[in-house]
Structure 1
Amino acid sequence: MDDVRQYTLKELRARKDETQEETAKALGVSTQTYNAWEKNISNVAVSKVLAVARHFGVKISDIFLP
């Protein structure tokens, strides 16, 4: 059985050595929106889920699925 590893957005951003502002710009959202995603204040928009996974080079399930 494969080990399932879940990542937080903050952890993935740190691995890329990016600021929240840099990540937000790369994803086409405001810094405030990205900050809310990272703090689990709001959910990542469905239209941005694939972009987030691609940006960080992980599978969607590595970030968003339990």
Structure 2
Amino acid sequence: MLYIIGGGGRMQNSIRALRTEGGVSQRELAEALGVSRQTVNSIETGRYDPSLPLAIAIARHFGRAVEEIFHAS
């Protein structure tokens, strides 16, 4: 189940842990996803919530469900 958070709430995510576990740099992940390294950094640090298509692309990249990566804070 995917939860949509309203009211300006931010989601937490496990992207940094998955990325470092897999030995992937922010730049490499960004290139694989077609976004900037700054975008990956902003998502990892919680300054930016990705669009649904980008969240799905991230989940697919790591072979996980979106709900395993993104969760309510």
The TM-score range, normalised by the shorter chain, is 0.7 to 0.9
Aligned to 1:21: 27
Q: For residues 19 and 28 of structure 1, what CA distance do their matches in structure 2 show?
A: 14
Task: Say which structure is richer in helix.
Answer: 1
Identity of aligned residues (%): 37
1:21-52, Cα deviation, whole Å (9 max, x unpaired): 00011011000111100100110122211110
The answer to whether structure 1 residue 11 and structure 2 residue 17 are counterparts is: yes
Do structure 1's residue 31 and structure 2's residue 30 form an aligned pair? no
The one-letter code of the counterpart of 1:61 is E
- Residue number in structure 1 paired with 2:53: 47
Total equivalences in the alignment: 61
Q: Which runs of 5+ in 1 are unaligned?
A: 1-6
RMSD between superposed Cα atoms in Å: 1.6
- Structure with higher RCO (Cα < 8 A, 6+ apart): 2
> Which runs of at least 4 in structure 1 moved beyond 2 Å after TM superposition?
none
Instruction: Report the alpha carbon displacement of residue 65 of structure 1 after superposing the two structures with TM.
Output: 3.1
CA distance in 1, matches of 2:50, 2:65: 15
User: Which SS does the other structure have where 2:71 is aligned?
Assistant: coil
Q: Structure 2: give runs of 5+ residues left out of the alignment.
A: 1-12
